[in-house]
Homo-oligomer: A and B are copies of this chain.
Amino acid sequence: MRQPSRRKDYPYFLSYQTRWSDNDQYSHVNNSVYYHLFDSIVNTYLIEQCGLSPTSSDGIGLVVTSYCSFYRPLSFPQLLDLGLRVLKLGNSSVGYEVGVFEQGEDEPAAVGGYTHVFVDRITRKSVQMPEKLRDGLEKVRVQDVQRSKL
């Protein structure tokens, strides 16, 4: 079994203020909100580091599968640190993992992610990632997570 990830395992970070509406009626950040955060850090990285323009790029990334494991509750008004890494990188698809951290904590409160398939904006058929996008993703790719953990 893979060891759980730590802060140092993520090469790219962004902090997010939690919002009042993130807490559900059990007074903790609702499970769905983590997926909104995954979308936010992934797309910020794609826009700012990989040349994606959601309104004009020929290829756009659509989510085909997603998942999350929740280890410890989080709650508004905490400030969260999100870490991003790429676990798999193909010609038209990429698998991201996001670690969600409380400030000052080394172990993640949750770890999840999703697989993006890049498709043509109009036809929605699978397309190759542009070189600039792939190069950007390569920079946060983690080589061989499984073996390095042995």
A interface residues, Cβ below 8 angstroms from B = 14-21, 23-27, 30-33, 35-40, 42-44, 47-48, 54-55, 60, 62-70, 73, 76-77, 114, 124
Contacts and interface: CB of A to CB of B under 8 A. Distances in A.
B70 A68 contact: no
Nearest to A82: B17
Nearest to A43: B20
A20 B61 CA distance: 13
Contact of A24 (B14, B23, B37, B65): B23
A43 B26 CA distance: 12
A42 B36 CA distance: 20
Nearest to A63: B31
Contacts of A40: 17-21, 76-77
A43 B77 CA distance: 8
B70 A64 contact: yes
Given A25-B55, A66-B67, A19 B48 contact: no
A54 B25 contact: yes
B36 A32 contact: yes
